[in-house]
Amino acid sequence: MFDTNILMVVGITILGGMLGGVICQKLKIPQVVGNIIVGLILGGSCLNIITLEDVANLKVINFFALGVIGFLVGGELKIETFRKYAKQFITILIFEGMAGFIFVALSSFLIIYLITQNLIVSIAVGLVFGAIASATDPASTIDVLWEYRAKGVMTTAIIAIIALDDALAMTLYGISSGIMQIMVGGGGSNSIMQEMYHVIVHLFGSLLLGGVCAGVLMLFFRFVAQVEKAVALSLGIVLLGIGLAIKLDLDVILASMAIGFGVANLLPRRSEHIFKLMRNISIAIYILFFVLVGAKLSLGAMPIWLWGIVLCYVFFRNFGKVIGSYYGAKVVNSPDVIRKYLGTGIFAQGGVAIGLAIVAGEKLNGIQITPNLNMGDMVVYVVTTTTLILQIMGPNMVKFSIKKANEAGKNITEEDIMEKMLVQDVLDQELIVVENRTPLIKAVKYFTENDVLFYPVVDREKNICGILTFESLKDVLSDRDSWQWLLVADVMLPLHDLATPEESLKAVYEKMLQLKIDQIPIVDVETHKRALGILDIRNIRQKVHTELLKRVA
């Protein structure tokens, strides 16, 4: 029988996550941090409303969210950008990934050796920690970039690095895991080759699957013109790709990223609307995903000495990311903003790290560190705890990076500008009104003497009662004799709608599009009768476009 409790958990998760996100947003903290903190509160670390069983039952949501995130990240990667910056990105990737690997591996080795006095085990586990440390979480990082509408060379570099970091982490893990098996697991000399073969199949298989799905999607797009249906198709293909990736034991994010990359580069113009709508419909999924991330992270009852490894891991991983990014960017002469702030923008650690830790933990379960703790559990505890710390620290550092690079708020659209403006911000204060008792012959002169084709009509009390347009005159234009005795009241058009200066510009603009009108009278807030001006749709577009240019300059 279906467990209705899971629906309650989903409802509580989304509502709690939204509340946490709003509170953090008010405090100038990235919303994703609020989602994760709410997960910690609702999960086993505190209230235990969301149990580990609930998290397991909702695992499909995690895969769905990771697939959508991968698709959207892929959509940010343009072929032109890679052609221009490929050398820079790959060099920085190797420097920051290897720096994090080396620093974490050495520090972990020293601490574990001091505790175990076992050189072989200490080297093996140090290598595993180092490999895991090179991974970066794309989910929370990209979420902050979108929240703060970041755009620029540094933002592009962050997106490219987080897209490639997991592939580097898997490669390093494959090598380290092979060495580990030889040293502590009794594996033969072929262990490294076997692990590398698995990694290569995993990476290229994921990309191949994504490429095939993208090709199928392109074929479907030939028969679909509406953006909404194109989004539905994209979502269906992404879900299909996720399912196949899980079935074939491939990487969900890489496969989905390849789909997004294909769509963005094969349909550059049309895909902009597809990705925009996809982001809008995925908000609830994102919230659910990050709350569940927090819920399954538990500090637990760890020995004090394990906290030493955790702190060293976090410090040296972040230190390696910063130093490696700086010198990698320096080698290829990247802009100063990349040298200074890229490293702090890639601190977040997520699902890939935990996944690698679980796999490594299974291989190390047979080695006891203390009577109550084996090496496998230690790896999982450390990586889970560091992930928790870095998931809270990482988004804030992404915000710091884009703010320092002056790239926050640059990826805005005219629609974003319009949302923050009122009618009074674009209202033309020069207003010509026509009384309803004015003879038509005199009113016609308004059209010949002024560059205006729309006039509010007022009564004796100066209250607006209609509109006079060139369109309303077309039936009497050929009958000039009638101009002598007709009044404006005889030919004026009734009011379709009105607006006030304090209304949202976006709301009024959408109303005009819906009514298919190019002008709308603006009246006072108190009486809604006194004409204050005319809002012209062309004037809206011009002023909003000008404001957009000012903001992104």
- Across 380-463, the runs of DSSP E, i.e. the strands, are 434-435, 454-458
- Taking CA 59 as the corner, what is the angle to CA 14 and CA 52, rounded to the nearest 5 degrees? 80
Q: What is the pLDDT of residue 240?
A: 92
Q: Rg of the Cα trace of the chain?
A: 30
Residue 31: inside a domain: no
Grade residue 477 by pLDDT with cuts at 50, 70 and 90: low
Phi, psi dihedrals of residue 373, rounded to the nearest 5°: -145, 125
Nearest to 302 by CA among 198, 211, 377, 356: 377
For residue 202, what are the contacts with CB-CB under 8 A and spacing of at least 6?
A: 170, 249, 250, 251
Residues 383, 252 share a domain: yes
Q: What is the pLDDT of residue 192?
A: 60
- What's the CA gap between 38 and 45, in Å, rounded? 11
Long-range pairs of 57-63 with CB within 8 A, sequence gap ≥ 24: 57/3, 57/6, 58/6, 58/9, 58/10, 58/288, 58/292, 61/285, 61/288, 61/289, 61/292, 62/289, 62/292, 62/351, 63/242, 63/246, 63/252
Token pair of 369 as six digits: 């560190």
Grade residue 2 by pLDDT with cuts at 50, 70 and 90: very low
Nearest to 192 by CA among 175, 207, 204: 175
Grade residue 466 by pLDDT with cuts at 50, 70 and 90: confident
Strands 454-458 and 464-469: antiparallel
pLDDT digits (tens, 9 = 90+) for 101-127: 999 999 988 988 888 787 887 888 888
Residues 391, 525 share a domain: no
Residue 115: inside a domain: yes
- What's the CA gap between 126 and 111, in Å, rounded? 9
Question: In the Cβ-directed half-sphere of 310, how many Cα atoms lie within 13 Å?
Answer: 19
Nearest to 321 by CA among 40, 33, 98, 15: 98
Residue 512: inside a domain: yes
Residues 177, 77 share a domain: yes
Residues 422, 293 share a domain: no
Expressed as residue numbers, the domain containing 459 is 417-552
* Whole-model pTM over 0.75: no
Query: Residue 537 maps to which CATH number?
Result: 3.10.580.10
Residue 103: inside a domain: yes
Last residue of a domain, one of 341, 376, 411: 411
Question: In the Cβ-directed half-sphere of 496, how many Cα atoms lie within 13 Å?
Answer: 15
483 DSSP 8-state letter: G
User: Which residue(s) pair with 530 in the sheet?
Assistant: 463
pLDDT digits (tens, 9 = 90+) for 17-71: 888 888 887 877 777 778 888 888 888 767 888 887 887 788 787 788 878 878 8
Work out whether the CA dihedral 216, 220, 222, 225 comes out positive or negative. Answer: negative
Residues 372, 250 share a domain: yes
Residues 457, 374 share a domain: no
Name the average pLDDT for the chain: 80
Residue 40: inside a domain: no
Count structural domains, the chain: 2
Residue 204: inside a domain: yes
Residues 189, 136 share a domain: yes
Last residue of a domain, one of 366, 389, 411: 411
Query: Does the pLDDT of residue 327 top 90, yes or no?
Result: yes
For residue 146, what are the contacts with CB-CB under 8 A and spacing of at least 6?
A: 279
Residues 335, 384 share a domain: yes
Query: Does the pLDDT of residue 186 top 60, yes or no?
Result: no
**Residue located via tokens 């670390």:** 45
Q: How confident is the model over 436-454, as a mean pLDDT?
A: 77
- What's the CA gap between 429 and 138, in Å, rounded? 49
Residues 431, 350 share a domain: no
Residues 139, 193 share a domain: yes
Residues 451, 351 share a domain: no
Token pair of 293 as six digits: 């991330």
Residues 337, 427 share a domain: no
Contact predicate 321/96, CB 8 Å: yes
